[in-house]
Amino acid sequence: MSGPAPRLEEGGTFSRPGYRVRLRPIEERDVDAMMGWVNDPAVTRNFAGMSRTITRQEELAYVRAMRSSSADRLYVAEDLDGAYVGNAGIHKIYWPAANGRLGLVIGDRTRHGQGYGQEVLRLLCTLAFEHLQLHKVWIVHYGDNGRMLHLCKKLGFQEEGVLRDEYFHQDAWHDMLRHSLLRGDYDEAPWRARLGQPTM
Ligand SMILES: CC(C)(COP(=O)(O)OP(=O)(O)OC[C@H]1O[C@@H](n2cnc3c(N)ncnc32)[C@H](O)[C@@H]1OP(=O)(O)O)[C@@H](O)C(=O)NCCC(=O)NCCS
């Protein structure tokens, strides 16, 4: 692979049969829903770069940057009624080697622990491998993020290593864990279902 794959069609959505969430490309109108969690310490403590207050203007600039970046694909996860559930992205895409970093957040905390994160992570992997034709996706999370660790293992990600004292946050150093899923791992994953082109 040598260059960026096409984006999901604007206004299009991507999901799988039986799922309660779908992904669609992020839009500027999503900023208000995002402001519901970007300054919530219970959510942002899991993200290394989010330890200060973020303004709506900054968040809007971030969404605009993501929408125009060739190395990022940022989606909103919404329920089947169109209500905002969270954000999901494939970032730092290095097209020559066809790899990218996954990130996800179930921003609506009342929905944590109900299986939405797993659905979103599966959808992200499916988009990465079947739509973007990536070879590898990776994810870095705090070592004490039990939910994320559990989900990575459950979906077949392999641990690549511990980034010791990688971040300083809330007066403490934190180890990060890096996990990855290769195209071949995905092909063998029991949860995988082959899909056609993801525009509906
Ligand atoms: C991490 C996150 C995306 C997971 O989404 P979620 O919808 O809460 O997760 P799910 O309900 O799909 O799955 C959670 C799984 O972890 C398990 N789990 C919950 N707490 C756990 C813990 N402390 N240790 C280990 N496993 C745990 C649950 O039992 C469930 O597994 P199961 O489906 O096998 O029963 C979500 O909690 C979130 O947005 N957190 C804040 C942001 C974040 O951490 N993002 C990831 C940064 S890379």
CATH number, domain of 48, equals: 3.40.630.30
CA distance 101 to 89: 8
3-state DSSP assignment of residue 131: helix
Strand partners, 167: 174
Q: Ligand 1: distance of its center to the CA of 118 in Å?
A: 8
CA distance 137 to 129: 9
Domain that residue 97 falls in: 21-188
Q: Is residue 4 part of a domain?
A: no
Residue 121 CA: nearest ligand 1 atom is 3
Model pTM score: 0.95
Per DSSP, the residues of 73-90 read: EEEEEEETT--EEEEEEE
Q: Is residue 193 part of a domain?
A: no
Domains in the chain, number: 1
Q: pLDDT of 10-65, one tens digit each? A: 888 999 999 999 999 999 999 999 999 999 988 888 887 777 899 999 999 999 99
Residues with CB under 6 A from ligand 1: 43, 46, 103-106, 112-118, 139, 141, 145-148, 150-151, 154
Q: Is residue 200 part of a domain?
A: no
Q: How far is CA 175 from CA 7, 15, 48, 119, in A?
A: 34, 33, 11, 26
Q: Ligand 1: distance of its center to the CA of 152 in Å?
A: 10
Q: Is residue 10 part of a domain?
A: no
Q: Is residue 41 part of a domain?
A: yes
Q: Ligand 1: distance of its center to the CA of 96 in Å?
A: 32
Any idea how long the chain is?
A: 200
Ligand 1 atom 15, closest CA = 147
Strand partners, 86: 77, 106
Q: Ligand 1: distance of its center to the CA of 50 in Å?
A: 19
- Interacting residues of 154 by C-beta distance below 8 A, sequence separation 6+: 118
Q: pLDDT of 68-104, one tens digit each? A: 999 999 999 999 999 999 999 999 999 999 999 999 9
Q: Is residue 8 part of a domain?
A: no
Q: Ligand 1: distance of its center to the CA of 147 in Å?
A: 3
Q: Is residue 81 part of a domain?
A: yes
Q: Is residue 16 part of a domain?
A: no
Q: 11 exposed, middle or buried (CB, 10 Å; 0-12, 13-18, 19+)?
A: exposed
